[in-house]
Structure 1
Amino acid sequence: MTLLLPRDDGTTRPYEPCPAPSQAPPGSGAPLTSRTVFSAAHVVADPRADVSPDSPAAVDWDATLAFRRHLWAQGLGVAEAMDTAQRGMGLDWTGAAELIRRSAAEAKSAGGAIACGAGTDQLTASADLLTVRAAYEEQLALVEESGAQVILMASRALAAVATSPDDYLETYGHLLRQASEPVILHWLGPMFDPALTGYWGSEDLDEATETFLDVISAHPDKVDGIKISLLDPGREIALRRRLPDGVRCYTGDDFNYPELIAGDEQGFSHALLGIFDPLAPLAAEAVRALDMGDTKTFHARLDPTVELSRHLFQPPTRFYKTGVVFLAWLAGHQSHFTMVGGLQSARSLPHLCHAYELADGLGLFPDPLLAESRMKSLLATYGVDQ
């Protein structure tokens, strides 16, 4: 059946859905060997809960954990309680703590890799450096107690209270000395969260990079890797070439990930990406090609996905989660298109329709007829006659 999809100008265009899914093999669950790959996973809201946008998140725990099992089945690791899970955009610390506990326990049962975000989002009022440090300590302890690897997330509270690079050096140095195992440091750019503008003590990214490297070089034994989300491949490559031996670079660049993961003669990036939530089967297939030394097949699988990723992450980039959850609904990973905080409304109908087109063209939907039926129901909700 031909669907009439709205355009940006208010008109509609005909679209013929693909009749069959891609022929990507089902996930084997076997670990990927040439790259360490984490998918930052979304949470599934409970659509029947009586909540408002200001209420604590109501999570459908069964569906949320089932989606993590789907990611592990592909051989990917799960990056839990990150911005993809709507940390600070609908999911508060109480909800994130429960998510970490449940997902870490599920990872043990499934034998899957998991790393969890530790930040300071329990702070709701102005703070000083000691208060920020104590908030970090509380979350770091919880993640370690759960048995998951720690991802030290960028902190809005620290960005607000820090007055110099030394404040970052002191805070992160204290936390790294406390960590029992090597952590992943997360540099999230202001395009993902405007409150993080000037992180590491400067809006000049060259100056900020030097402070970031100073933190790492002072504690190389406590840093497993760095996760960079600046959407600047040249800066990421330059930074990863300066990392101490044994410290990995995990790309968080949802615009340029194929070239960064493939790498060059001087190295490559591992991955910790929100776009690998909807792309999990294709991403795993592509990296398995790299495991076999087949760079050509890697690019053939992953390069065509970049147009979809750039569409989902277009400005305002922080609302990419809406497209991620939308595609999970179309793919049958959840029964509804509802998000915590009501963020299903954060993208326009034309934006969602183009996301459907691009994902359908990639063969991302295991059941294309289900995706088509759900698109028809969405269009009808918006008053678009077929």
Structure 2
Amino acid sequence: MTTLPLLSPAGEVTHAELNAAPAFERPRHPLTARTAYAAAHVVPKPWGDNTPGQPADIDWDATLAFRHHIWSWGLGVADAMDTAQRNMGLDARATRELITRSAAEARSVNGRLVVGVNTDHVAEERIPLDAVIDAYKEQLHFTEDAGAGVVLMASRHLARAAETADDYVRVYREVLSAATTPVTLHWLGEVFDPTLAGYFGSRDFDESSATVLRIIDDNQAAVRGIKMSLLDADHEISVRSRLPATATLCTGDDFNYVRLIEGDGVAHSDALLGAFAAVAPNASAAIQSLGRGDADAYRRILGPTEALSRQIFAAPTFYYKTGVAFLSWLNGHQAAFSMIGGLHSARSLPHLSDIVRLANAAGALERPELAVARWHQLLTLNGVEL
């Protein structure tokens, strides 16, 4: 029997029983119970100079193949967002190429795709509000021309330039008026990006949520909904309950998504999650179960993945993509455990060991024997005696 080596923070090696991969089936028809997007990462060339500060050198075949993997399970792809390593190695040129390539691949399989629109192509850290509006519009028009759906990301430039909640209201009004199709707003919490503390004009949730809802109410024709990534289920439910009927809420809460997606009998959240890139087959199978009215199967399948997600998104949360890339490598979706910006070094071996342990328990190792072999190689390469 193959066993799974595990490494403690003290360097001690233990072994666990390796579980078989669950027998999940890809959907034969589009998922209808919930709309779900997985925020995918980019795969670098293993031999490329993807050291910190260098332009991203991307393995496009592997990167796009990973998106087809997500689409094959009936999920949509959320691309070119902060969750795809923007601001952490994915430069403006590579971001635009990723949007163009992903949009073409989505059309080829009729896959759902949304991409992030931001202001991060502007090199200056501080620009006035009018320049923030122009920067947003530039990326908005590029994305619409590429044929992708839009997620209007939280802008570091806007966070620095805005002095009041009314400044946010003005900027979003101007940008949304330029959109030709409804967009999804994104409220990204400071655990993901400390620069965004106090976004929407206040550190107080009641005040900032009032501003968000005002923006949505004032621009209903232009707003499809909002993705919330505050990692606070009560805050999400509060906003969800106050949305106009024209808007939906996509959870970005990688700590509490199981109950938020299932709902409370009155309302539920759809999903736009980095975690779903790590557990796409599980997420698909769970949502298929909801479509059959089997909530018990939904919880049984998706419930164990939440502990895995909490480990992947452990503080400092903005390094979570290391865990997603690590599982992508273990599951055979990329040739090497490497990331742009050298971010594969952002987590320790014991942290990765806990990811392996929890992925095994959650049924998230798609090819368990391959995963063990690769994990064994990584431990040996780093001097761990097994």
Q: Is the TM-score greater than 0.5?
A: yes
CA distance in 1, matches of 2:313, 2:66: 21
Say whether the 8 Å CA contact 1:29–1:72 is kept in structure 2.
no
1:167 maps to 2:167: yes
Provide the rounded CA distance (Å) in 2 between the counterparts of 1:287 and 1:5.
31
Measured against aligned partners, the alpha-carbon deviations of 1:331-362 in whole angstroms (never above 9, x if no partner) come to 00111100000000000000001101111222
The 1-side partners of 2:289 and 2:3 are apart by: 35
Match of 1:98 in 2: 97
Q: Which amino acid aligns with 2:296?
A: K
The number of aligned residues is 384
Amino acid at match of 1:335: A
> Which residue of 2 is the match for residue 364 of structure 1?
364
Equivalence for 1:64: 63
Aligned partner of 1:185 in structure 2 is 185
Of the structure 1 ranges 123-132 and 376-385, higher mean CA displacement relative to structure 2 is found in 123-132
Kept in 2, the 8 Å contact 1:22–1:362? The answer is: no
Q: Deviations over 1:170-217 (max 9, x none)?
A: 000001111000000000000011111110011111111011111000
Say whether residues 1:138 and 2:138 are aligned partners.
yes
- The equivalent of 1:251 in structure 2 is 251
Q: 1: distance between equivalents of 2:339 and 2:28?
A: 28
Question: Residue 261 of structure 1 contacts residue 271 of structure 1 at CA under 8 Å; is this kept in 2?
Answer: yes
Partner residue of 1:14? 15
How far did residue 297 of structure 1 move?
Answer: 1.1
Take 1:313 and 1:2, find their aligned partners in 2: how far apart are those partners?
26
- Superposed CA deviations along residues 37-56 of structure 1, whole A, max 9, x for unmatched, are 11111110111113431111
Measure the CA separation in 2 of the matches of 1:137 and 1:14. Answer: 53
Offset, 1:15: 2.7
In the alignment, does 2:80 pair up with 1:85? no
Backbone CA RMSD of aligned residues: 1.1
The secondary structure found in structure 2 opposite 1:268 is coil
Q: What one-letter code is carried by the residue in structure 2 that aligns with 1:339?
A: M
Q: Secondary structure at the match of 2:225?
A: strand
With over 3 angstroms needed to count, the CA separation of the structure-2 counterparts of 1:336 and 1:242, relative to structure 1, is same
- The residue identity in structure 1 corresponding to 2:186 is H
Cα distance in 2 between the residues matched to 1:4 and 1:249: 40
SS of alignment partner, residue 271 of structure 1? strand
* Cross-structure match for 2:36: 37
* Shift, 1:265, TM fit: 2.4
Shift in CA distance, 47/156, structure 1 to aligned 2, threshold 3 Å? same
The offset of 1:367, in angstroms, is: 1.9
The answer as to whether partners of 1:42 and 1:324 remain within 8 angstroms in 2 is yes
Q: TM-score, normalised by structure 1?
A: 0.97
Residue 224 of structure 2: aligned partner: 224
Q: Which runs of 5+ in 2 are unaligned?
A: none
1:63-90 residue CA offsets vs partner (Å, 9 max, x unmatched)? 0000000100000000111122101111
2:147 is aligned to 147
Q: Equivalent residue for 1:315?
A: 315
Structure 1 runs of 4+ aligned residues shifted over 6 Å read: none
The residue aligned with 2:265 is 265
Aligned to 2:224, what secondary structure does the other structure show?
A: strand
Matches of 2:114 and 2:219, distance apart in 1: 20
- Equivalence for 1:54: 53
Give 1:374's aligned residue.
374
SS of residue in 2 equivalent to 1:178: coil
Distance 1:298 1:366 in 2: 19
CA–CA distance in structure 2, aligned partners of residues 34 and 293 of structure 1:
9
CA contact (8 A) 2:275 2:324 kept: yes
Q: 1: CA distance between counterparts of 2:381 and 2:157?
A: 40
Secondary structure of 2:320's match? helix
3-state SS of paired residue (1:136): helix
Give SS of 1:39's match.
strand
Contact 2:27 2:288 in 1 (8 A): no
Give me the TM-score of the superposition, normalised by structure 2: 0.97
Report the secondary structure of 2:304's partner residue: helix
Q: Distance in 2 between matches of 1:29 and 1:309?
A: 27
Please state how far the C-alpha of 1:99 moved relative to its aligned partner: 0.3
Range moving further from structure 2, 177-186 or 85-94 = 85-94
Distance in 2 between residues matched to 1:46 and 1:326, nearest whole Å: 15
Give the residue type in structure 2 aligned to 1:205: F
Provide the C-alpha distance between the structure 2 equivalents of 1:171 and 1:326, rounded to a whole number of angstroms. 38
Task: Answer whether contact 2:36 2:271 (CA < 8 A) is retained.
Answer: yes
2:273 is equivalent to residue 278 of structure 1: no
1:198-247 Cα deviation digits (max 9, x unpaired): 10011111111011111000011111110000111111111111001120
Partner SS state of residue 5, structure 1: strand
Equivalent pair of 1:29/1:74 in contact (CA under 8 Å): no
Greater shift, 45-54 or 90-99, is seen at 45-54
One-letter code aligned to 1:5: L
Alignment of 1:112 with 2:92, yes or no, is no
Question: Where does residue 287 of structure 2 map in the other structure?
Answer: 287
- Structure 1 gap ranges (5+): none
CA deviations over 1:132-154 (Å, ceiling 9, x no partner)? 11111111011100111110000
* Aligned-partner residue type, residue 297 of structure 2: T
SS in 2 for 1:276: helix
| Per-residue CA distance 1:302-336 (angstroms, 9 max, x = gap) | 11111101111111111110000000000001111
The Cα shift of 1:3 comes to 4.5
Contact 2:305 2:364 in 1 (8 A): no
